Amino acid sequence: MTQRMTTVPETPATAASAHEQIVCPVARTAEIISGKWTLLIIRDLTTGTKRFSELERSLVGISPKTLSERLTALESQGILHRQTYAEVPPKVEYSLTEKGQALFEVIEAMRAYGKEWLSDHPCD
């Protein structure tokens, strides 16, 4: 006799519950920075405030939808701040919060590792 395993579809509530169950600081940090473009967005914001179009130009290959989704996720996690100005056309700027700036050391460690062990081709 075989048993069927049923899975419960993930909802925002179950995802939040799973997130809260992660205790390991390394796993929680990895969860924040694991998206394909996330670290590159943070890298670009370490040099200062940027507008959406500046980020889009810098991140060759990212779609506007993906960039918007990643920025929204980073804002909800307290990694970046979104400043909207009441102008026509609307002006929106993104900058790192203190929590986001603290990821600079993680990015620098990855840059050093990559330079030493992975490639002869430097990036920004």
Contact 39, 110 (CB under 8 A): yes
In this structure, is residue 30 part of a structural domain?
yes
In order of 5, 48, 91, the CA distances from 62 in angstroms are: 38, 20, 21
The 10s digit of each residue's pLDDT in 54-73 is 999 999 999 999 999 999 99
Per DSSP, 97 falls in state -
The 10s digit of each residue's pLDDT in 78-115 is 999 999 999 998 899 999 999 999 999 999 999 899 98
Question: How high is the pLDDT of residue 15?
Answer: 52
In this structure, is residue 10 part of a structural domain?
no
Q: How many domains does the chain have?
A: 1
Host domain of residue 47: 24-117
Tokens of 48: 């200062």
Question: How high is the pLDDT of residue 9?
Answer: 53
pTM of the model: 0.75
Looking up residue 59, the CATH number of its domain turns out to be 1.10.10.10
Q: Check pLDDT > 50 for residue 7.
A: no
